[in-house]
Each structure stands twice: as structure tokens, then as C-alpha cells.
Amino acid sequence: MNIVFYAIVLLAVVFAALTGTPAEVGKAALDSSKGAVELAIGLVGYIALFLGLMKVVEEAGGLKWMARLIRPVLIRLFPDVPPDHPAMGAMVMNIAANALGLGNAATPFGLKAMKELNELNKEQGTATNAMVLFLAINTSGLALLPTGMIGLRNHFGSLDPAAIFPTTLFATACSTVVGISVAKFLSRLPMFASPEAQREADARLAAQREKESLADLVPLVLFGAAVVGMVFGVYVYGEAASAWILPALILGMLTVGIVRGVKVYEVFVKGAKEGFDLAIMIIPYLVAILAAVGMFKKSGGLDALVKLLSPITSFVGMPGEVLPLALMRPLSGSGAFGITSSLVETHGADSMIGTLATTMNGSTDTTFYVLAVYFGSVGVSKIRHAVPAGLAADLTGALAAILAVRLLLPGLPLSLASTADEGSGGDEPTEQLASEQEEQAPSAEVQSGDGDDDSAQKEDGEGEDGDEPATPLPSDPPPSR
């Protein structure tokens, strides 16, 4: 990330010299830094809300319920890990926590899982198939609740913040399936083969396994069918269905707490307090990336990059403006959050670009950061096929996000920036557009001036993502997957 941050600033200065805009680029750095702080403060309420709800679900036993749901699948995916081994329990809890958006809980379980998996490692310092597969699932960003991106969309005035709920589910499911498939496939290739001693040990463990009953998968199949039904409902009924997602989600999470005897108000407040700490924590990361991106945009470098790569992005249906996010997502959660915020602010939360950016940010995780932290925790330096498996999941998540938005949310305008430009040169947040149009229409004859406005500039974060992965907002420390 050090190289990426420096490279963006360096390119901004180079383009400023070429275009003769050093003053504008310098002002963009100051304005973007101010906007980063205002963005973080503005998101405190949303972060607190979702962290409070997550705390209620956690206290109600939601994490253990999700763990029981996915355990039959993991037992089949990891034949080289005994079902009763501590590594299996830690992996189940880690993936369940990530699926529920409990990134702070997921990280300790993930580190514990790597430690236990290393106990089964016959050649220390070299990643086992189980390690690579486990991290492929983590980097694919499997998550059921894209709460961070929903809060960001609402912050920038979306009329339907939860519209990305089904699109994110579709994209993250695709990235997870591909990540698992690629990890399994590459492990069989000679160039990525595990050491002979490890292969023999894995074969013995697999031979000793008892055959699992298919009946164990019934609860997960029913849960998956319910999720697919929700996605299909949004596809058929559009906004009439998606508008109910957030109210139903909030009521459902609180109802689970009531049924399980949780003191929902007290627990909610306890969880919400963590939102303030999280908002403060992400400010330095947002300032760094938003200042760099703001300079690059104002220098004309971003426009040049988009124009250069537009033939490639248009071929896959991706607006060129979203390309920087696709490139940043595997590297940094906070960086991806900053770029997403910038896209949503500039083009509108309910535009094609804004919706695709928030969907894409919630569908994968920070591959290189996750690999570095988890492999580093057990001293593994030979990571074999972990990088290609993670990048395959990232690419799939980006392409699946494009397909999901175009299929489930058709008819979105590419950008709302033209409307914003009329009022403020393109720098006004989306949430101000409607009110400005109403004010300008009856008074257009008496207004004068160039419409410049020093209003706050803001810019994406899960997180994961925490991204989420992650906590509701993605950030680099700690890893969300």
C-alpha cells in the first residue's frame, strides 16, 4: 500500500505539470482531506446502528447458529482436516462471523484457525491445501450483510440504500464459488503440488473420514433457497421489494434478540458505542487515500486512465470510472472505501456507477492484506497457489457485480454528475441534488454567479470492507477476513 499511495501522488503531480494545474491539485488535497473527516463523522450514526444490531444478533447466538449451518459444507470441503480437530471449529466460526459482518470476531477465529492448521502441516513454512482453501474463502469476501455500503449509500442520499443487498449477495456468492473451485483445481497441478510428505498425510486423513450424511445439508439448502427467493423477489418486484429489506432486517435482528431473551436495548447501546471508535479509527486511512485520489482526479490523470482503458472496460460492461476501484480492492480495504465514496459522491448513490461501486466493494475482500496477515501469523513464506486463487475470486466478484446490477437493477442512469455539475461544478454530494433543483427552478431568473460552493466533499471503506470484510466498514487494521 505504501507503493500504491506514493504512486498515485506521484502521477498526480506529473499530470499537474503536464496540464498546468498545480494550484488546483494542491487545493484538491486540502479539500479531500477535509471531506474525509466529514465523511467519517457523517457515517458515525450508520456504523453505530449496524454495530448495535450485530451485537444483539451475536448475544442471541446468531454466530453459533450460522456456524452449525455451514459446518456440514466445510467438513466436505476440507477432507484433510479431521471434523473434530480444533482447526475445523475455528474455521467454522471465522467464516460464520464474516458472513454476518462480525469482522472483529472473525479475525481472532481466523488466526486461531491458521495456528491449528499449521499443527497439521508436515513441512513448516509451506502452505497446505487447507490453508490456501481457507484463505481463498476469506479473500472472496463471503458476506450476507453489506451494512457498510448500505450506510454509505444512505449518507449520500440514496432513495433505496438497501437496493444493493441482493446484488452483493449474488456477486459475493459467485466470487466464493470461483475462489473455492480455483483453489481446488490449482492444488492438483504439478507446479503447485504440496510436498510429498504432506500429500501422504492428507491422503491418510481423507481415507479415515466417515461418510457424511446428505441430510446434514438440508438446513443450509433451505437457507440458500430463502436467500435466492429474496433475490428473485427484488428482480420481479424491483423497488417495491427492495424497499422492505432494511426495515425487515432491523426488525428481524431485534426479534431474534427478544425471542432469545436478550436485553436488546442495553446490548444495542453497548454495540453502538463501538461505532464511534471505528469511525475515528478509519479517519487517517480515509485522509490518506482521499487526498491522493482527489489530487489524481483534479490533475486529469484519472480521466486519462479511464479514456485509455475504456475499450477494455466497455467490453465487459464496466464503466471506466469504476476501474480504479477494481484495481484497489485486492490491495486495501480503506483505499477501496475511499474510491467508492468518491464515485458515489461524484456520480450519485442511485446511478449505475454508484450502485456498481458499492456492490463491488461488498463482494470481495483485500486479498493481499489478508494473505500477508494470516500467512505471516504462522511463518508461512511459500504460499503456493494462494494469490491466483484469491485474484480469481476478485475478478469474478467484479464481473458478477456488473452482471447483478444490470440484471437486478436495470434502467439505472450511468451517472447523475450532470445534474450536480449545474449546481456546483460536480462536487456536491448526491443528497443535496434534489433540494438544489427545487430551489433553482423558481429562482433561476434572479440567480447569478458561477455556482461554486465550498460544501463538504466526501468519498468508500469495508472495510470489508472488511470490508467488509469485515466490520461494517472495511479498513486495513484488523483484517476483516
Q: Which pLDDT tens digit goes with each residue over 278-328?
A: 777 778 877 887 888 889 888 988 778 878 877 888 888 899 889 889 888
Residue-level pLDDT at 436? 43
Coil/strand/helix, residue 463 = strand
Q: What is the pLDDT of residue 204?
A: 85
With vertex at residue 471, the alpha carbon angle to CA 466 and CA 475, rounded to the nearest 5 degrees, is 50
Q: What is the pLDDT of residue 467?
A: 40
- The CA-based angle 456-461-466, given to 5 degrees, is 165
Query: 35-49, 420-434, 466-480 — which one is most confidently predicted on average?
Result: 35-49
Which phi and psi angles does 157 have, rounded to 5°?
A: 85, 25
The percent of the chain in helix, strand and coil, each rounded to the nearest 5, is: 70, 0, 25
Q: What are phi and psi of 425, to 5 degrees?
A: 70, 20
Q: What is the rounded distance in angstroms from the CA atom of residue 403 to the CA atom of residue 170? A: 9
Condensed to tens digits (0 to 9), the pLDDT of residues 26-50 reads: 998 998 888 888 877 877 887 788 7
Question: Among candidates 251, 275, 254, 226, which has minimal Cα distance to 60?
Answer: 254
Residue 337 CA: distances (Å) to CA of 41, 121, 139, 452: 15, 36, 16, 27
Domain residue limits, the chain: 2-206+217-430+456-467
pLDDT tens digits for 196-222?
889 888 888 888 777 767 777 787 788
Mean pLDDT, the chain, as a whole number? 79
Residue 322 makes CB contacts below 8 A (sequence gap 6+) with 313, 343, 353, 356, 357, 360
Give the integer Cα–Cα distance in Å for 418 and 123: 59
Measured between alpha carbons, how far is 12 from 301 in angstroms, rounded to an integer? 6
What confidence score (pLDDT) does residue 397 get?
A: 93
* Confidence label for 178 from pLDDT (cuts 50, 70 and 90): very high
Backbone angles phi and psi of 382, in degrees to 5: -95, 95
Torsion of CA 425, 429, 435, 437, to 10 degrees: 30
**pTM for this prediction:** 0.69
236-258: pLDDT as tens digits: 776 677 678 778 878 988 998 99
Output 197-200 pairs: Cβ under 8 A, ≥24 positions apart: 197/122, 197/123, 198/121, 198/122, 198/123, 198/126, 198/128, 198/129
Q: How far apart are CA 74 and CA 69, in angstroms?
A: 10
CA-nearest of 352, 351, 370 to 464 is 370
Instruction: Give the SS3 label for residue 261.
Output: coil
How confident is the model over 167-172, as a mean pLDDT? Answer: 91
Query: pLDDT category, 417, cuts 50, 70, 90?
Result: confident
Owner of C-alpha cell 434534489: 434
Partners of 467 in beta bridges: 464, 465
pLDDT of residue 234: 65
Beta strands in 251-311 (DSSP E): none
Average pLDDT over residues 439-458: 39
Q: What pLDDT digit, counting tens, does each position of 111-166 carry? A: 888 998 999 999 999 999 999 999 999 888 777 778 778 888 988 999 888 889 88
Name the pLDDT band for 265 (thresholds 50, 70, 90).
Answer: very high
